[in-house]
Amino acid sequence: MGMGVSVRHQIAARAAKEIKNGMIVNLGIGMPTLVADYLPEAMEVMFHAENGVLGTGPAPEKGKEDMNLCNAGGLPMTVVPGASYFDSTTAFGIIRRGLLDVTILGAFEVSTKGDLANWIVPGKIVSGMGGAIELAQKAKKVIVLMSHLDKRGNSKIVEQCALPLTAKCCVDLIITDMAVIEVSRDGLTLIEVMEPYDVEEVILKTAAPLNISDEIKTIQ
């Protein structure tokens, strides 16, 4: 039960609204990379890659790839005017100093407290945890993009994570194919519902208690 392409883009477009002019942003691999496509053209955002670039641009046209230029996932990329290069130590120094305004990550599970499990499913081959631990702990705002349910139809938003944690109490906002949910000390608050779902269905399909915002919106 995977998500269609259009749904993935709908989630990315909603996440893009959280990014403001002048921010430094790190996008995780997978769905988060789509977010860059939905920023207004005039907006100036510096995308950070943990392999050592500040100011990454879109993927290059076929045939125009620079072999020396790749993102943290190893894929070819471009840079924007004003970009800078540095070693991984400096890249992680930027993360650990808390200089990233936003990081957008994928996830397998998020708990009521905002605990994040996004790096390993036992028994599956993984590429390692990458920069996710530092990103989740240190970015000023942590946004998770994921499907609301896993392949078996179980909620990925849970009271307590069963999978190994990436970081505790770190997630600020969850955006799924069904809903937008804020995480705070009071727990989870449903603030937006994605069409064609309604509030009742989101509550039914979420394995954690949800507060309902007074100003709940429907995203078409």
Catalytic residue among 18, 41, 44, 50: 50
Residue reference for tokens 């599956």: 124
Residue reference for tokens 């109490």: 169
Q: Which of 93, 85, 106 is nearest to 27 (CA)?
A: 106
Is residue 16 helix, strand or coil? helix
As a residue count, the chain comes to: 220
Strand pairing category for 102-106 and 109-111: unpaired
Q: How many CA atoms lie within 13 A of 21 on its CB side?
A: 4
Q: How far apart are CA 27 and CA 109, in angstroms?
A: 18
Q: Which of 174, 173, 179, 177 is nearest to 218 (CA)?
A: 179
Give yes or no: 41 in active site: no
- Catalytically active residues, by annotation: 50
